[in-house]
Every structure is written in structure tokens, then in C-alpha cells.
Amino acid sequence: MAQSKGKYVDGIAAFRRQPVEPESVAQEPVLPGAVAGTGATRNTRPVGKRSNPDWKLFSMFLKKQTHRKAANILRNREEADTDLSDLMEELLAGWVSEQSSKVEV
């Protein structure tokens, strides 16, 4: 009997000896809740803010209590698709628009 090199080495060797079956050319199913055209299939994740060139990661200081309360309010809302960065973008964009209109007047 041949001497075993270890259960993991033997398992990998046995796996490599298995014949490869060609996969059928079927369309991959879309995950539940995925939006068409966003790349949300079984093997890929939907495109997020981190990979979107219109978004940039910034750091800022917030009081812990303010952050915690805002996150809880957003989590408990019926429209659960808004996160803290969406809220901050909306508030800051509104403020910038308001300040711009005051300067141009």
C-alpha cells in the first residue's frame, strides 16, 4: 500500500483526477431583489458606491449619539433603501444649492 501524504493532499489529488464535465450554456439566474442591468447575478455583486466614479469616500466627525440615532431612524423607515451616506449627500447637496443661490442673488 502506498504511503499517504496526508488527508488534505490525498483529497486534492483525488479531486484533480475527476473528469471535468462541460457546463451547459445557460443564462445565470438573477438573485432575488436584484435590479436588471446592475450586474447582480450569482457570481457578481451589484455595483456600489465604492466603485462608482461619482462617489468618493470621505471621513468626518459626528457625535456618536447623533450617528446612532440617525442610523436607527433610517433602519426603521419603510423605505429601507436609504443609507447614511445617501442622507448626508442629500442634506449637503441641499445646503450647497441654498448657499449658491444666496451668492448669485
pLDDT, tens digit (0-9, with 9 covering 90-100), for 4-38: 667 778 877 777 777 776 665 555 555 555 555 55
pLDDT of 22: 63
Residue 79 lies in a domain: yes
In a domain, 31, yes or no: no
Quote the pLDDT of residue 38. Answer: 52
In a domain, 86, yes or no: yes
| Total tally of structural domains belonging to the chain | 1
Split at pLDDT 50, 70, 90, the class of 77 is: confident
CA distances from residue 43 to 16, 28, 81 in whole angstroms, order as listed: 23, 9, 22
Task: Kindly state whether residue 16 falls inside one of the protein's structural domains.
Answer: no
Domain around 78: 56-105
DSSP helix/strand/coil, 15: helix
